[in-house]
């Protein structure tokens, strides 16, 4: 929470309060989705993710129509998009989303959520690092400190049961 607090204190053009609120809400939705996936039991997780993703198409299409300038603008964008952009969208939708969520849901169906869930929380940290490396985005000390605190929190959360047992043995 301290790392998140540092990020909240540095809202500017690249990090807005609305953006932070949406990230928190996304985390809440992600937790709900993990709970639903966990309770789905041992089913074909790839089919589960494909079916769940189908429900996102109508609202996302409507949002695109509203905010992207209507069908004419959308179709012009699609027909003039470079092949690399289309390949990137295909990669994101098939490789990352389908495989990633199917693997995550399969892990959630086999292992406790407390063991599986912390690892994907590192995605934003790697995203910030990739943006700094590939896009030359600034990486000020406060971002590094916030990322370090988030990683430390995840490590403590993940390994706390073992740490607690070790401390009890040592001091009892």
Question: Mean pLDDT across the stretch 139-162?
Answer: 84
Give the pLDDT band (50/70/90) at residue 146. Answer: confident
Over residues 113-132, the pLDDT tens digits come to 777 777 777 777 788 888 88
Q: Say what the pLDDT of residue 14 is.
A: 66
4-8, 83-87, 90-94: segment of lowest average pLDDT = 4-8
148 pLDDT above the threshold of 80: yes
- Block residue for tokens 């928190």: 24
Share above pLDDT 90 across residues of the chain, in percent, rounded to a whole number: 4
- Radius of gyration (C-alpha) of the chain in whole angstroms: 20
Distances (CA, A) of 91 to 97, 98, 136, 152: 9, 10, 23, 31
Is a pLDDT exceeding 90 seen at residue 82?
yes
Rounded Cα distance between 138 and 140, Å, is: 6
Q: Give the per-residue pLDDT at 13.
A: 65
Q: What does the pLDDT look like over 18-71, one tens digit per residue?
A: 877 887 788 788 778 778 877 777 777 777 777 777 888 888 889 888 888 888
Cβ-proximal residues to 95 (8 Å cutoff; 6+ apart), any chain: none
Higher pLDDT, 53 or 72: 72
């Amino acid at each position: 929470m301290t790392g998140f607090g540092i990020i909240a204190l540095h809202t500017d053009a690249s990090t807005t309060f609305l953006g932070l609120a949406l990230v928190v809400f996304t985390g809440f939705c992600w937790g709900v989705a993990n709970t639903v996936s966990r309770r789905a039991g041992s089913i074909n997780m790839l089919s589960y993710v494909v079916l769940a993703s189908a429900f996102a198409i109508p609202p996302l299409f409507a949002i695109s129509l509203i905010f992207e300038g209507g069908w004419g603008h959308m179709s012009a964008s699609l027909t003039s998009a470079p092949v690399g952009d289309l390949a990137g969208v295909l990669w994101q939708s098939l490789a990352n989303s389908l495989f990633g969520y199917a693997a995550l849901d399969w892990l959630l169906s086999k292992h406790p959520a407390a063991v599986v869930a912390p690892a994907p929380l590192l995605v934003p940290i790697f995203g910030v690092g990739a943006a700094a490396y590939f896009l030359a985005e600034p990486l000020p000390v406060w971002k590094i400190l916030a990322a370090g605190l988030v990683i430390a929190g995840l490590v403590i959360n993940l390994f706390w049961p073992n740490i607690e047992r070790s401390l009890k043995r040592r001091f009892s």
